[in-house]
C-alpha cells in the first residue's frame, strides 16, 4: 500500500516503523501543595537537562542556520512567559508537567493571536519546547532509532536529531518547517503531510520515498528491490552526469547553476557550474536581530571559496511578499507582493542594504562573486542601488579593506523590467520566472486556487525580448525561477538563447542530461 505526501528531504529509506507517542498531560495538583519545592526542583532540573541535550544536538549540525534553530529553542526554555509562569503555576499547587504544559499553551495562544505570521509560527516552537521538558520530567527521551522509520503526527526539529532515524513520515509539517530543514541537512529521507499514517503500527516494514513523496506500507521484497535498484542506477547515472559540462551535440555550452539558500545547499551543489541564485534573505529569517557584516562576510566567503573560479551570484535581500521579517518593523501592507519588496525595501533600509553589500564586496576577493538586485521595475532603482554600492566601496577603500569590482546584474521578474530590458545598464540578466509569471498573470503565486494560472507559456514573449536585448548588449541572460529546472521547458529555453539555467541542486544532473541530448 502506498500513501502520498510531500517529499521534503530526498532519498529512499526502508526499515521498521517506530511510532512515536504523544504525551498526555493530566491536570494534577501536587498533593495538598506540600511538594511545591520538590516540583520546582524537578522543573529546574528538567530544563537544565533540556539545555544540555539541545547543546549536544547542536554540535551535530555543521550549518549555522540550522544550529540557530536549536539555539533559539534553548533560549526559549528560560523565557519568563514559559519558565517563570510554570513556576507560578507550581506555586498554585500544580505538578511540574501540568504547569509547563499550561504555561506553554497560554504563551502559544497569545502568539497565535498576533497578525504577523512569523510570530504566529513561533507558537509551535513553544509547544515543541514544552513537550521536550515534559518528556525530561517523565524521564522519557527519544532514544536514537538509527534503523527505524519514525512515524507520527508531528516531529520537532530537535527530535529529528535525537532520533537520528533512517527516514521520517509525519501527518503535519511543511517543506519549510524546521523539521524538514533539519532532515534535509542531515540527508534523512522525509515525507510530510501524509494522511492515513495511523494504519502503520509499531514494527511494520515501511519504505519512505522522499523524492516522490511516498510512504510504502509493508512493501513486498520485489517492490523494495526494484525501487532500490532503480535508485542506485539513477544515482550512479546522475553522479556521472553531474561532473560533465552541459554542451549540446552541436557544441553550444549552457551553464547549469544552483539555486541555494545557504551553506548547506552550497555543499550539495558540487556538480554545478556555479551558483545562479543565492537567496540571501534566508539569512534574515529564523532569528530575532539583523545579521552583522562579519556574520554575512564569513558565509559569502565560504561559498565563494567552495566554488572558486565558478561564479556565485549573490542576490541581495529579497524581503517582503511572502517573506516577512518581524524584527525589521516593516509596515503591514494589504498587497505585500505588490508592495515594498526586494530592491524597493533595500532602498528604504539603506544601512541594512549597505551592510550586505560591504560583506559581499569583502568576500569577493575569495572567489568569483556577482551581485544581483531582485524585484527591479525601473532603471532608476538599479541606479540608486549602485549609488549605495559605490558608497560601500568608498567606505571599504577608506578603511583599507580589499575588494574586487564585481559584475552587477538584475533579476527580470516584473513585466515592466522585461518589456523595457533595453533601458537597464547591468552586467547580466537573470529571469525570475516564478515572479514574472505571477505578475504577468496577476495571480498570487501562493494561492492554491489560482494554480491554473501558473502558465510559463504566457511569459515566453517577455523572455524572448529579454534574450534579444541581452544579445544586443552582449551580456549573459539566465533563468533562475522554477521553469529553469523543468525538463519539459529546458530545450525550449536553450533554443531561445538562454545562456544559464539555475535550479535546485537535485535537478542539475537531469538538466545536464537534457542539454547534452539536444542537437
Ligand atoms: C523568481 O521569482 O523566479 C525567483 C527565482 O525568485 P524567488 O522565487 O526567490 O522570488
Ligand atoms: Mg522572485
pLDDT in tens, 3-56: 999 988 888 899 999 998 665 565 676 656 667 888 899 999 999 988 988 888
Q: Which of 133-147, 209-223, 231-245 has the lowest mean pLDDT?
A: 133-147
Angstrom distance (rounded) from CA 306 to CA 267: 8
- Mean pLDDT (the chain, rounded): 89
* pLDDT for position 394: 98
The CATH code belonging to domain 247-516 is 3.20.20.60
* pLDDT (average), residues 503-515: 90
Angstrom distance (rounded) from CA 348 to CA 388: 11
* pLDDT for position 62: 63
481 alpha carbon – ligand 1 mean position (Å): 5
* pLDDT (average), residues 300-329: 91
For 354, the grid coordinates are 549597505
From residue 138, alpha-carbon distances to 79, 106, 141, 504 in Å are 21, 22, 8, 43
Beta bridge mates, 4:
214
Q: Could you identify the atom of ligand 1 that is nearest to the CA of residue 480?
A: 5
* pLDDT for position 433: 96
Q: Which of 20-34, 253-267, 311-325 has the lowest mean pLDDT?
A: 20-34
pLDDT higher than threshold 70 for residue 286 = no
* pLDDT for position 226: 81
pLDDT (tens digit per residue) in 366-376: 999 999 999 99
Burial of 132 per CB tally in 10 Å (0-12, 13-18, 19+): buried
Considering 50-64, 219-233, 265-279, 355-369, the range whose residues carry the highest mean pLDDT is 355-369
- Superfamily grouping for domain 2-217: PtsI, HPr-binding domain (1.10.274.10)
Q: Is the CB of 435 under 6 A from ligand 1?
A: yes
pLDDT higher than threshold 80 for residue 153 = yes
For 358, the grid coordinates are 560591504
pLDDT (tens digit per residue) in 162-215: 788 899 999 987 776 777 877 887 889 999 999 999 999 999 999 999 988 999
Q: Is 315 helix (H, G, I), strand (E, B) or coil?
A: strand
Our mutation pick for probing the ligand 1 site, out of 176, 261, 318, counting the most ligand atoms within 8 A of Cβ, is 318
Query: Which of residues 184 and 280 earns the better pLDDT score?
Result: 280
pLDDT higher than threshold 90 for residue 99 = yes
Give the per-residue SS3 of 72-136. Answer: HHHHHHCCCCCHHHHHHHHHCCECHHHHHHHHHHHHHHHHHCCCCHHHHHHHHHHHHHHHHHHHH
Q: Could you identify the atom of ligand 1 that is nearest to the CA of residue 433?
A: 3
Q: Is the CB of 145 under 6 A from ligand 1?
A: no
* pLDDT (average), residues 449-477: 96
Q: Which residue's alpha carbon is at the smallest distance from atom 4 of ligand 1?
A: 432
Please list the residue range(s) of the chain that carry CATH number 3.20.20.60. 247-516
Please list the residue range(s) of the chain that carry CATH number 1.10.274.10. 2-217
> Which ligand has its closest atom nearest to the C-alpha of 437?
1
Angstrom distance (rounded) from CA 461 to CA 482: 18
* pLDDT (average), residues 144-172: 84
Q: Is 366 helix (H, G, I), strand (E, B) or coil?
A: helix
Q: Is the CB of 432 under 6 A from ligand 1?
A: yes
Which residues participate in catalysis according to the annotation?
Answer: 178, 480
413 alpha carbon – ligand 2 mean position (Å): 6
> Which ligand has its closest atom nearest to the C-alpha of 313?
1
Q: Which residue's alpha carbon is at the smallest distance from atom 6 of ligand 1?
A: 432
Our mutation pick for probing the ligand 1 site, out of 259, 262, 285, 413, counting the most ligand atoms within 8 A of Cβ, is 413
Who contacts 376 (Cβ-Cβ below 8 Å, separation ≥6)?
A: 342, 343, 382, 410, 411, 412, 413, 414, 417, 424
> Which ligand has its closest atom nearest to the C-alpha of 278?
1
Q: Is the CB of 438 under 6 A from ligand 1?
A: no
Angstrom distance (rounded) from CA 248 to CA 251: 5
* pLDDT for position 35: 79
285 alpha carbon – ligand 2 mean position (Å): 17
Buried b (16+ CB within 10 A) or exposed e, 222-248: eeeeebeeeeeeeeeebeebbeeebeb
Return the biggest CA–CA distance within the chain. Answer: 86
Angstrom distance (rounded) from CA 293 to CA 360: 9
Q: Are 377 and 417 contacting, i.e. CB atoms less than 8 angstroms apart?
A: yes
* pLDDT for position 118: 66
409 alpha carbon – ligand 1 mean position (Å): 15
Q: Which residue's alpha carbon is at the smallest distance from atom 1 of ligand 1?
A: 432
Amino acid at each position: 500500500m502506498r500513501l502520498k505526501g510531500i517529499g521534503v528531504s530526498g532519498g529512499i529509506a526502508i526499515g521498521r516503523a517506530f511510532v512515536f507517542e504523544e504525551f498526555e498531560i493530566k491536570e494534577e495538583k501536587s498533593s495538598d501543595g506540600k511538594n511545591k519545592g520538590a516540583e520546582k526542583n524537578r522543573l529546574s532540573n528538567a530544563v537544565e537537562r533540556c539545555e544540555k541535550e539541545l547543546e549536544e544536538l547542536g554540535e551535530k549540525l555543521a550549518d549555522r542556520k540550522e544550529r540557530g534553530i536549536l539555539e533559539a529553542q534553548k533560549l526559549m526554555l528560560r523565557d519568563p512567559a514559559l519558565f517563570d509562569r510554570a513556576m507560578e503555576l507550581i506555586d498554585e499547587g500544580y505538578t511540574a508537567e501540568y504547569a509547563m504544559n499550561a504555561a506553554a499553551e497560554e504563551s502559544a495562544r497569545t502568539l497565535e493571536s498576533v497578525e504577523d505570521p512569523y510570530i504566529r509560527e513561533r507558537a509551535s516552537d513553544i509547544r515543541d519546547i514544552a513537550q521536550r521538558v515534559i518528556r525530561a520530567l517523565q524521564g522519557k527521551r527519544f532514544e536514537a532509532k538509527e534503523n527505524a522509520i519514525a512515524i507520527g503526527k508531528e516531529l520537532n526539529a530537535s527530535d529529528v536529531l535525537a532520533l537520528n532515524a533512517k527516514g521520517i513520515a509525519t501527518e503535519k509539517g511543511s517543506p519549510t518547517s524546521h523539521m524538514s530543514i533539519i532532515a534535509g541537512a542531515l540527508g534523512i529521507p522525509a515525507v510530510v503531510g501524509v494522511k492515513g499514517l495511523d494504519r502503520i503500527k509499531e514494527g511494520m516494514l515501511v519504505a519512505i520515498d522522499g523524492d516522490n513523496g511516498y510512504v510504502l506500507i509493508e512493501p513486498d521484497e520485489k517492490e523494495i528491490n526494484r525501487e532500490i535498484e532503480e535508485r542506485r542506477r539513477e544515482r550512479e547515472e546522475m553522479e556521472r552526469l553531474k561532473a560533465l559540462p552541459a554542451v549540446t551535440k552541436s557544441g553550444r555550452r549552457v551553464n547549469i547553476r544552483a539555486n541555494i539558500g545557504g551553506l548547506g545547499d552550497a555543499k550539495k551543489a558540487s556538480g554545478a557550474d556555479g551558483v545562479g541564485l543565492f537567496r540571501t534573505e534566508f539569512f534574515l529569517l529564523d532569528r530575532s536581530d539583523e545579521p552583522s557584516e562579519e556574520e554575512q562576510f564569513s558565509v559569502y566567503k565560504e561559498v565563494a571559496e567552495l566554488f572558486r573560479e565558478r561564479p556565485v551570484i549573490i542576490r541581495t535581500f529579497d524581503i517582503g511578499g511572502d517573506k516577512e521579517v518581524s524584527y525589521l518593523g516593516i509596515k503591514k501592507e494589504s498587497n505585500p507582493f505588490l508592495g515594498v519588496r526586494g530592491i524597493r525595501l533595500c532602498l528604504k533600509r539603506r544601512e541594512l542594504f549597505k551592510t550586505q553589500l560591504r560583506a559581499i564586496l569583502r568576500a569577493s576577493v575569495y572567489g568569483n562573486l556577482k551581485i544581483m538586485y531582485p524585484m527591479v521595475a525601473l532603471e532608476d532603482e538599479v541606479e540608486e542601488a549602485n549609488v549605495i554600492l559605490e558608497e560601500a566601496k568608498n567606505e571599504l577603500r577608506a578603511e583599507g579593506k580589499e575588494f574586487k569590482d564585481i559584475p552587477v546584474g538584475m533579476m527580470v521578474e516584473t513585466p515592466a523590467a522585461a518589456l523595457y530590458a533595453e533601458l537597464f545598464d547591468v552586467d547580466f540578466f537573470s529571469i525570475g520566472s516564478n515572479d514574472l509569471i505571477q505578475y504577468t498573470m496577476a495571480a498570487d503565486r501562493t494561492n492554491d486556487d489560482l494554480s491554473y494560472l501558473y502558465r510559463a507559456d504566457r511569459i515566453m514573449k517577455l523572455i524572448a525580448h529579454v534574450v534579444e536585448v541581452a544579445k544586443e548588449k552582449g551580456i549573459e541572460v539566465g533563468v533562475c525561477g522554477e521553469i529553469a529546472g523543468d525538463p519539459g521547458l529546458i530545450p525550449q529555453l536553450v533554443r531561445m538563447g538562454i545562456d544559464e539555467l539555475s535550479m535546485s541542486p537535485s535537478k542539475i544532473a537531469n538538466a545536464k542530461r537534457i542539454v547534452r541530448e539536444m542537437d
